[in-house]
Structure 1
Amino acid sequence: MTTIDYVLFFTYLIGIILLGASFYSKNKSSDAFTTGNQKFPAWAVTLSIFATFVSSISYLALPGSAYMGNWNVFVFSLSLPIAALIAVRYFVPLYRRVNSPSAYTFLENRFGLWARIYVSACYLLTQVMRIGTILYLLAITVHTITDWNIPFIILLTGISVLIYSIMGGIQAVIWTDAIQAIVLIGGALICIVYLLVNIPGGWDTFVTVGQESGKFSLGSYGLELDAPTFWVVLIYGLFINLQNYGIDQNYVQRYVASSSDKNAGKSALWGGLLYIPVSLGFLLIGTLLYVYYQTSGSLPTDLMGEGQSDKVFPYFIVQELPAGMTGILIASIFAAGMSTVSTSFNSGATVIYTDYYKRFFAKETGKDHSMRALYVASAVLSVLGMIVALAMINVKSALDAWWSLASIFSGGMLGLFLLGAFARRTTQVGAIAGVVAGLLLIVYLNVLPFFTDSGETSGLHSYLTIVLSTTLIFLVGFLVSIFFGKNEKRV
């Protein structure tokens, strides 16, 4: 990196911190911290939802996937319109009616306190894991590009995000998300244009080589269930996106923070749909990199092996881009990571404050006590996330362990929500039975093979875990309520 690259990067970083911190004077109440007093314009919430979809991992994993394989992962994005329309029709109006900063107030209203505590606890565990994973993988990437110390990058990113997210609350998060969304899109466009200009023959060569290498394939259209076929990825994407839109505090909090029901629906719809062309752009970068290094460039041998594809894009940024562009791309990668981490800090603090502190310890609190609780909750989440990230440095297998444990942490969340939202005649016994059945299935399909080192024992691809567990929770909860809940009050 040259001096101008460092200047551009640190100018961006300091600018984001100052922008977020500038909302401190407007962040003096719990309502301002969690919902921004519902004064956000639709376009800002739209960009914030989009930025929540994109992390620095997407920024690097999607090009790496397209470089090594094809565009199969784009099928995940194709499921977004279905999930977004369902969210606009059912989920957004539901949460706007509940009008609580927490997504999990609805579950207490529907099934009782146990449901609220269970799902909010699962959410907090996944957020700590998510923060740590993103900080760690972002640090690995930036280390590859800049040779900076990995713990330094983790602490720099975590502390920088904490400063502006704790000072400005959700107002800082949403407005910086909007800026970061523009930066990361701009960085991707710069790469696309640069690659097209520098590939001999430009677009024609790209299309020809890409077609000959099968790079534009969306995967097999067969019906096998043990591989990421078009249909497996599509149904997996639908369920994951329903979980995002339906029960993820990161998204629900933005519905409530919107200025009106109409604007909330618009933001939910367009925030998700914007991810489709952007994810396509990331895949385009991966395929362009493949064509570039096939026709006019050369990679070192250590990047040609299996499992090295995610490092090709960072290598290109450092070795091929001219001075100035490298700094912009580093800022883009940081933008993708910081937007996701800041969202997790604020939404996690909101859950701790609303579902635990306010619910159990201080139902009637003064303004000072409320803000202190939110500040402490944000700081605790940031410290735990950075600890997880630092722990991953020496325990590389922890990545696989965390992703496997995520299936338990988030297990039952979507199924329980769908049961509450769409099954009118449901009892608490039915809901509990459904969650237990779903968790047992998750352990069998996804977690047990990891700990027994026995691999895929079920013959099903891991993508189908959320599909089958969610379906089982809904069916068991509904049927138990119908046949065994006759003497229990239906909720």
Structure 2
Amino acid sequence: MKNLPLFDLGIILIYLVGMVLVGVYFSRRNTSADEFTRAAGRIPGWAIGISIYATFLSSNTFLGVPGKAYGGNWNAFVFSLSMPLAAWLATKYFVPFYRSTGEVSAYTNLEKRFGTWARTYAVVCFLLTQLARIGSIFFGISLTLQALTGFGLVTIMVVTGICIVIYTVMGGIEAVIWTEVVQGVLKTLGAIIIIFLVVREIPGGVSEIVSVATKNDKLSLGTFELDFVSSSFWVVLLYGFFINLNNFGMDQNYVQRYHTATSPQEANKSVWLCVWIYVPVSLLFFIIGTCLFVYYQQHPELIEGLKLQAAAERLGMPETNAQVVALAQQMTTEDYGDKVMPHFMVNMIPTGLLGLIVSAILSAAMSTISSGMNASATVFTEDIYKRYINQQSTERKSLKVLYTATVLVGVLGMCCGIAMIGVKSLLDIWWTLSGIFAGGMLGLFLLGIISKKATNRAAIMGVTVGVLVILWMSLSYLLPADLAYLKYPLHANMIIVIGTLTICLVGMLVTKLNGNKNK
């Protein structure tokens, strides 16, 4: 099946037009930069909470998590289990702090604490993180739509990107939040429908799924041994805690939402609402991946086609090519896991429901991309343009810069998505990139909070050593075989953990040594 039925196309078209109309509706209020970036602080906490949940539940979750569970087990679900602790710290320390400063940018305070360089460093890290995330989401959504329509990955990214840019530019943060409320409901409904359809197709139902999954170790959360080389329970838990702490405490996507709330209490409620919705819903996607594994084990004739499709995309050659066929024969379940969900949708979801599911996946992508574009534009305007280019910028000029920056981030995000074509695992590439870029931000921020005596010099030393360590951990795999002893030995998800701790601990050590010298 390479073309969607007209009825399904109609549903998708109605959804896309509806999202654009939301942007048109809220565009009437965007008469100032304050309206564009924080909606004048009039959004209720429950709407912000669902909005944050929708941002978390991106197409990386919708497609990457089932693919991960299909090819492996439930190890990645430990990421979700780390969220409550990160949320507790965020609501206790970070949310009250940001609300008290009144600064819409999460990084303005770093300049007050350590100097201009600290703010600039955090902004660069954030923008790189957002480009990596937006790119991975563009790539993820294009995988599904390519399977459904036959259009090229690049064409799909450009078309969906234009739609997202339109309503994000026109509606600002208020349009982003209210569209994400709709998208959060839609994507949750989509997950429930998919589970029902998969279970319905498996003879024996739930009992058969549990039996086959248990036999193949599909429900495991990973080894509980203190193993930091493989993706153990503890590696994912630590990674999840640091990433989620970064999300709730440092990421402009979330910090900006705190300022749209009517009160600090409503802002705190939004964080907890996100957690209590996301944790069980993310589990649904692992269940989907496990159910799909059982389904395809019962239909092995379908697996060869999936392997050929994955091999052809990786090599950029037709499925009939001899090299493609040879590569397909060597592929394991992990190599083609991201293809499973789109394949099942194409062949097994009935007309009408298919349009709804595709709309849900589109919403998963659009919600995260739009919020990332808005947050990135806000950071660029507040921390780069108004700080270095035009400190006396008028409201009208700032609003124009916000519009331009939003479009620019969307275009660059699409370019990153195009560059990711052919990656092995959508979820893996996002986790790796986010760990590299986020570690530096979080370490510096924690140093400023934990060590009240930390000086500018201590922060510079901490960041310098931390960045060098992060670069070594990220790039040492490129070293030749005779220098293998210099390669980073631990799992890639430990990069953010070690990078964050290095910056924080080195900064505290330098502060301590300086204190001893001054005695």
1:389-408 equivalences under 5 Å are 389-393=417-421
1:465 aligns with 2:495: yes
1:49 aligns with 2:44: no
1:78 aligns with 2:81: yes
Of 365, 369, 373, the residue aligned with 1:341 is: 369
Residue number in structure 2 paired with 1:150: 153
Q: 2:40 and 2:517 mapped to 1: Cα distance?
A: 43
Kept after mapping to 1: 8 A contact 2:431/2:493? no
Residue-pair matches, total? 487
After TM superposition, give the deviation of residue 487 of structure 1 in Å.
Answer: 8.6
**Counterpart amino acid of 1:473?**
I
Q: 2:267 and 2:433 mapped to 1: Cα distance?
A: 32
Unaligned residue ranges in structure 2 (runs of 5+): 308-330
Residue number in structure 1 paired with 2:63: 60
Of 208, 213, 216, the residue aligned with 2:211 is: 208
**Counterpart amino acid of 1:160?**
C
Secondary structure of residue in 1 paired with 2:14? helix
Q: 1:387 and 1:67 mapped to 2: Cα distance?
A: 29
Q: 1:220 and 1:431 mapped to 2: Cα distance?
A: 36
Secondary structure of residue in 1 paired with 2:183? helix
Q: 1:331 and 1:101 mapped to 2: Cα distance?
A: 32
Which string of whole-angstrom CA distances, capped at 9 and with x for unpartnered residues, describes residues 188-223 of structure 1?
A: 000111222332222222222222222211111111
1:354-433 equivalences under 5 Å are 354-393=382-421, 409-433=437-461
Secondary structure of residue in 2 paired with 1:375? helix
After TM superposition, give the deviation of residue 273 of structure 1 in Å.
Answer: 3.0
Which string of whole-angstrom CA distances, capped at 9 and with x for unpartnered residues, describes residues 12-37 of structure 1?
A: 11111111221010111100000000
1:317 aligns with 2:328: no
Which string of whole-angstrom CA distances, capped at 9 and with x for unpartnered residues, describes residues 56-79 of structure 1?
A: 121111111111221111111100
Q: 1:339 and 1:92 mapped to 2: Cα distance?
A: 22
1:234-273 equivalences under 5 Å are 234-273=237-276
Greater mean alpha carbon deviation, residues 120-129 or residues 173-182: 120-129
Q: 2:300 and 2:185 mapped to 1: Cα distance?
A: 29
Kept after mapping to 1: 8 A contact 2:296/2:303? no
Secondary structure of residue in 2 paired with 1:274? helix
Which string of whole-angstrom CA distances, capped at 9 and with x for unpartnered residues, describes residues 265-323 of structure 1?
A: 01012213321111100001011112223346852413253201111111000001111
Q: 2:516 and 2:124 mapped to 1: Cα distance?
A: 30
Report the CA distance shift for 1:185/1:401 in structure 2 as closer, same or farther (over 3 A). Answer: closer
1:105-184 equivalences under 5 Å are 105-184=108-187
Report the CA distance shift for 1:297/1:19 in structure 2 as closer, same or farther (over 3 A). Answer: farther
Kept after mapping to 2: 8 A contact 1:245/1:251? yes
Report the CA distance shift for 1:469/1:396 in structure 2 as closer, same or farther (over 3 A). Answer: closer
After TM superposition, give the deviation of residue 468 of structure 1 in Å.
Answer: 1.1
Residue number in structure 1 paired with 2:286: 283
Residue number in structure 2 paired with 1:480: 510
Q: 1:191 and 1:415 mapped to 2: Cα distance?
A: 40
Unaligned residue ranges in structure 1 (runs of 5+): none
Secondary structure of residue in 1 paired with 2:231? coil
Kept after mapping to 2: 8 A contact 1:5/1:324? yes
After TM superposition, give the deviation of residue 401 of structure 1 in Å.
Answer: 8.9
Report the CA distance shift for 1:444/1:390 in structure 2 as closer, same or farther (over 3 A). Answer: closer
Kept after mapping to 1: 8 A contact 2:436/2:495? no
**Counterpart amino acid of 1:439?**
V
Kept after mapping to 1: 8 A contact 2:115/2:456? yes
Kept after mapping to 2: 8 A contact 1:404/1:450? no
Which string of whole-angstrom CA distances, capped at 9 and with x for unpartnered residues, describes residues 310-348 of structure 1?
A: 111110000011111111111111111111110111001
Q: 1:245 and 1:151 mapped to 2: Cα distance?
A: 32
Report the CA distance shift for 1:452/1:336 in structure 2 as closer, same or farther (over 3 A). Answer: farther
Report the CA distance shift for 1:433/1:228 in structure 2 as closer, same or farther (over 3 A). Answer: same
CA RMSD of aligned residues (A): 2.3
After TM superposition, give the deviation of residue 373 of structure 1 in Å.
Answer: 1.2
Identical aligned residues as a percent = 44
Which string of whole-angstrom CA distances, capped at 9 and with x for unpartnered residues, describes residues 137-184 of structure 1?
A: 321231122212322211111111110000010011111111111111
1:445 aligns with 2:448: no
Report the CA distance shift for 1:414/1:387 in structure 2 as closer, same or farther (over 3 A). Answer: same
Of 293, 303, 306, the residue aligned with 2:306 is: 303
Secondary structure of residue in 2 paired with 1:228? coil
**Counterpart amino acid of 1:477?**
G
Kept after mapping to 2: 8 A contact 1:407/1:446? no
Kept after mapping to 2: 8 A contact 1:133/1:389? yes
Kept after mapping to 2: 8 A contact 1:63/1:286? yes
Secondary structure of residue in 2 paired with 1:330? helix
After TM superposition, give the deviation of residue 54 of structure 1 in Å.
Answer: 1.6
Q: 1:475 and 1:427 mapped to 2: Cα distance?
A: 13
Q: 1:310 and 1:352 mapped to 2: Cα distance?
A: 33
Kept after mapping to 1: 8 A contact 2:173/2:374? yes
**Counterpart amino acid of 1:128?**
L
**Counterpart amino acid of 1:87?**
A
Q: What's the TM-score once normalised by structure 1's chain length? A: 0.94
Secondary structure of residue in 1 paired with 2:28? helix
After TM superposition, give the deviation of residue 451 of structure 1 in Å.
Answer: 6.3
Q: 1:221 and 1:368 mapped to 2: Cα distance?
A: 56
Report the CA distance shift for 1:208/1:83 in structure 2 as closer, same or farther (over 3 A). Answer: same
**Counterpart amino acid of 2:458?**
G
Q: 1:387 and 1:61 mapped to 2: Cα distance?
A: 20
After TM superposition, give the deviation of residue 417 of structure 1 in Å.
Answer: 0.6
Q: 1:30 and 1:389 mapped to 2: Cα distance?
A: 29
Which string of whole-angstrom CA distances, capped at 9 and with x for unpartnered residues, describes residues 403-432 of structure 1?
A: 766655444110001111221111010111
Of 69, 72, 94, the residue aligned with 1:69 is: 72
Kept after mapping to 2: 8 A contact 1:83/1:242? yes
Report the CA distance shift for 1:443/1:398 in structure 2 as closer, same or farther (over 3 A). Answer: farther
Q: 1:168 and 1:376 mapped to 2: Cα distance?
A: 14
Greater mean alpha carbon deviation, residues 477-486 or residues 92-101: 477-486
